[in-house]
A and B are shown apart, each in its own frame.
Chain A
């Protein structure tokens, strides 16, 4: 499945998009990762590190949370740029999952690759289930319509 270059539907409330009038200076708002999610990931890890919350909770400074968000954002840029290069080397236009995995090896995050492959497999499997579930319902619908020809003489 390839994605279009133009912004289409978004799962998030629309954030300010860069103004792109040709010839003028771009005023770009920097997209940030949602603070609450970054915070959750950090806090969950910290509570595991502090022996499951048996000792007192480890707090996170506001500046530190920002630093986590920023670092992750730059990580995305770094990984994207690397994956993009790998993709172009193979004379393709669309960055795929494999490019990203190769990019991770390239930037020395090798330990990430195996768990990510497992995650990806899981994601693909769930998508398959969803797809076949939808197909199943449609088949049932069609059969029902055919069963009641008196309602409408239509055939699917």
Chain B
């Protein structure tokens, strides 16, 4: 398949397949041959393309299953002296759980940024998400809420009052 584009398929000996240069004997046939050859090339390219795609999908899924490095997760777990033996499957679950956790925290932080009409996610968005969400209570001291940051009140439907007060939403 190393013919430059535009050349007709080489004629089979014994079969009268005319070249286009053969004095106009069958330009239509030559065109047909060329078309057929291009189709074959396209077929090959398509096959290569799809083979590549499948490979990429496999690799991506593989990567996503262990997006956070298992060894690192194990080390973090072991920082707790109480934690001794860890089955090989456990970090796998942790990796995915962490990913889901980040997704959830991101979503809620984004909501806060949106309320304040910002396109940049800031630390206080995360702090707000933590203070608003019960399941994130364990993080309250990790990302402390800075007072006087933003007026969240009016976005939450509460009467707009002092713009400096931060609004805690009890669940």
Q: Which residues of B contact A67 (CB under 8 A)?
A: 123, 126-127, 142-143
Give complex CA distance A12, B143 in Å: 28
Contact (Cβ within 8 A) A74 B138: yes
Number of interface residues of B (CB under 8 A): 56
Given A31-B75, A58-B119, A93-B85; A41-B103 close (CB under 8 Å): yes
Report how far A2 CA is from B86 CA in the complex, Å.
Answer: 6
Say if the beta carbon of B80 comes within 8 Å of chain A.
Answer: yes
B13 contacts which chain A residues (CB < 8 A)? none
| Interface residues of A, Cβ cutoff 8 Å to B | 1-5, 7, 10-12, 15, 18, 28, 30-31, 33-34, 37-38, 40-42, 45-46, 49, 56-61, 63-64, 66-68, 70-81, 83-84, 93-97, 99-101, 104, 107-109, 112, 115-116, 119-120, 122-124, 126
Q: Given contacts A31-B75, A72-B98, A100-B94, are A46 and B123 in contact (CB under 8 A)?
A: no
User: What distance in Å separates the Cβ of A24 from its nearest Cβ neighbour in chain B?
Assistant: 16
Query: Which of B24-32, B35-43, B66-74 lies at the interface with chain A?
Result: B66-74
A94, chain B: closest CB distance, angstroms: 4
* Cross-chain contact B79 with A31 (CB below 8 angstroms): yes
Q: Are B83 and A71 in contact (CB under 8 A)?
A: no
- What is the distance, in angstroms, from B32's C-beta to the closest C-beta of chain A? 44
Interface positions of B (Cβ within 8 A of A): 65, 67-77, 79-80, 82-90, 92-94, 96-103, 105-107, 109-110, 113, 119-123, 125-127, 130, 134-136, 138-139, 142-143
- Chain B residues contacting A122 (CB-CB under 8 Å) are 65
What is the CB-to-nearest-CB distance from B79 to chain A, in angstroms, rounded to a whole number? 6
Contact A15–B121 (Cβ < 8 Å): no
Which residues of the partner chain A approach B135 to less than 8 Å between Cβ atoms?
Answer: 107-109
Q: Given A37-B69, A80-B77, 18 more contacts at CB 8 Å? A: A1-B87, A2-B85, A5-B85, A7-B75, A31-B72, A31-B76, A58-B110, A67-B126, A67-B143, A70-B143, A71-B101, A74-B139, A75-B97, A80-B76, A94-B87, A95-B90, A104-B97, A119-B92
